[in-house]
Structure 1
Amino acid sequence: MPLAQALDDLQAFLGERLSRSKSDLDLHARSESYFPPTPPDAVAYPETTEEVAQIVRTCARYGIPVIGWGTGTSLEAQAQPLHGGVTVDFSRMNRVLDIRPADMDVTVQPGVTREALNEELRATGLFFPVDPGANASLGGMAMTRASGTTTVRYGTMRDNVLGFEAVLADGRVIRTGTRARKSSAGYDLTALLVGSEGTLALVTEITLRLHGIPESISAGICAFPDMTAATNAVMETIQMGIPMARIEFACAQTAQAFNAYAGTAMADQPHLMVEFHGSPESAAQDAARFAEIVADHGGSRFQWSSKSEERTALWAMRHNGYYAILASRPGARAVVTDICVPISQLPRAIEETQTDIAASGLPGPILGHVGDGNFHAILLIDPDKPTHLDIAKDLAHRMAERALRLGGTCTGEHGVGLGKKAYMQAEHGEGWDVMGQLKRAMDPQNILNPGKLVRGN
Structure 2
Amino acid sequence: MHHDAIPPRAPLAPDLIAALEARFGLQLHLTDAMREQHGRSEAHFATALPDAVVYARSTEDVVDLVRWCTQHDVPIVPFGAGTSIEGNALPVRGGVSVDLSEMNAILAVHAEDFDCTVQAGCRREELNLHLRDQGLFFPIDPGANATIGGMAATRASGTNAVRYGTMREAVLSLTVVTPDARVIRTSRRARKSAAGYDLTRLFVGSEGTLGIITEVTLRLHPIPEQISSAVCGFATLQGAVDTVVQSIQLGVPLARVEILDAMQIRAVNRWSKLALPEVTTLFFEFHGSPAGVAEQIATVEALAADNGGGAFAWSNLPEERARLWKARHEAYYAAVNLRAGAVGWTTDVCVPISRLPDCITQTQADLAASSVPATILGHVGDGNFHVIFSVDPTAPHEMEEVAAINARLVERALAMDGTCTGEHGIGLGKQEWLVAELGDAVDVMRTLKRALDPRDLFNPGKIFAL
- Classify the TM-score, shorter chain: over 0.9
- Is residue 274 of structure 1 aligned with residue 298 of structure 2? no
Name 1:95's counterpart in structure 2. Answer: 105
| Partner SS for 1:79 | coil
Q: Give the Cα separation in 2 of the matches to 1:325 and 1:380.
A: 7
Q: Any idea what the Cα deviations from partners look like across 1:25-49, whole Å, max 9, x if unmatched?
A: 0000011000010000000011111
| C-alpha deviation, 1:2, in angstroms | 6.3
Name 1:149's counterpart in structure 2. Answer: 159
Q: Give the Cα separation in 1 of the matches to 2:265 and 2:313.
A: 16
Q: Give the Cα separation in 1 of the matches to 2:16 and 2:462.
A: 23
Q: Give the Cα separation in 1 of the matches to 2:282 and 2:255.
A: 13
Taking structure 2 as the reference length, what is the TM-score of the superposition?
0.97
Name 1:159's counterpart in structure 2. Answer: 169
Q: What letter matches 2:75 in structure 1?
A: P
- Is residue 192 of structure 1 aligned with residue 202 of structure 2? yes
Q: What letter matches 1:343 in structure 2?
A: I
Name 1:414's counterpart in structure 2. Answer: 424
| Structure 2 residue corresponding to 1:178, chosen from 185, 188, 193 | 188
| C-alpha deviation, 1:7, in angstroms | 2.4
Q: Give the Cα separation in 1 of the matches to 2:320 and 2:406.
A: 35
Is contact 1:335–1:393 with CA below 8 Å preserved after alignment?
no
| Structure 2 residue corresponding to 1:106, chosen from 116, 122, 125 | 116
| C-alpha deviation, 1:364, in angstroms | 1.1
Name 1:22's counterpart in structure 2. Answer: 32
Q: Give the Cα separation in 2 of the matches to 1:381 and 1:148.
A: 24
| Partner SS for 2:68 | helix
| Partner SS for 2:324 | helix
Name 2:145's counterpart in structure 1. Answer: 135
Is contact 1:366–1:377 with CA below 8 Å preserved after alignment?
yes
Q: Give the Cα separation in 1 of the matches to 2:206 and 2:14.
A: 29
| C-alpha deviation, 1:239, in angstroms | 2.1
Name 2:349's counterpart in structure 1. Answer: 339
- Is residue 366 of structure 1 aligned with residue 376 of structure 2? yes
Q: Any idea what the Cα deviations from partners look like across 1:9-30, whole Å, max 9, x if unmatched?
A: 1111001111001110000001
Number of aligned residue pairs: 456
Q: Which ranges of structure 2 fall in alignment gaps of 5 or more residues?
A: 1-10
- Is residue 54 of structure 1 aligned with residue 64 of structure 2? yes
Name 1:39's counterpart in structure 2. Answer: 49
Matches within 5 A, 1:422-437: 422-437=432-447
Name 1:350's counterpart in structure 2. Answer: 360
Q: Any idea what the Cα deviations from partners look like across 1:128-158, whole Å, max 9, x if unmatched?
A: 0000000000000000000000000000000
Q: Give the Cα separation in 2 of the matches to 1:239 and 1:385.
A: 46
Is contact 1:432–1:455 with CA below 8 Å preserved after alignment?
no
| Partner SS for 2:374 | coil
Is contact 1:222–1:273 with CA below 8 Å preserved after alignment?
yes
| Structure 2 residue corresponding to 1:377, chosen from 364, 387, 399 | 387
Identity %: 50
| Partner SS for 1:275 | strand
Q: Give the Cα separation in 2 of the matches to 1:56 and 1:379.
A: 38
| C-alpha deviation, 1:454, in angstroms | 2.5
| Partner SS for 2:426 | coil
Q: Any idea what the Cα deviations from partners look like across 1:276-333, whole Å, max 9, x if unmatched?
A: 0000000010011000110010110112111111111110110011111122211111
Taking structure 1 as the reference length, what is the TM-score of the superposition?
0.98
| Partner SS for 1:71 | coil
Q: Give the Cα separation in 1 of the matches to 2:157 and 2:36.
A: 28
Q: Give the Cα separation in 1 of the matches to 2:445 and 2:351.
A: 23
Distance 1:2 1:388, change over 3 A: closer
Name 1:305's counterpart in structure 2. Answer: 315
- Is residue 116 of structure 1 aligned with residue 126 of structure 2? yes
Q: Give the Cα separation in 2 of the matches to 1:141 and 1:339.
A: 18
Name 1:324's counterpart in structure 2. Answer: 334
Q: Which ranges of structure 1 fall in alignment gaps of 5 or more residues?
A: none
Distance 1:2 1:43, change over 3 A: closer
| C-alpha deviation, 1:445, in angstroms | 0.9
| C-alpha deviation, 1:96, in angstroms | 0.4
| Structure 2 residue corresponding to 1:392, chosen from 386, 402, 424 | 402
Q: What letter matches 2:180 in structure 1?
A: D
Q: Give the Cα separation in 1 of the matches to 2:303 and 2:444.
A: 44
Q: Give the Cα separation in 2 of the matches to 1:262 and 1:47.
A: 37
Name 2:271's counterpart in structure 1. Answer: 261
| C-alpha deviation, 1:50, in angstroms | 0.9
Is contact 1:126–1:210 with CA below 8 Å preserved after alignment?
yes
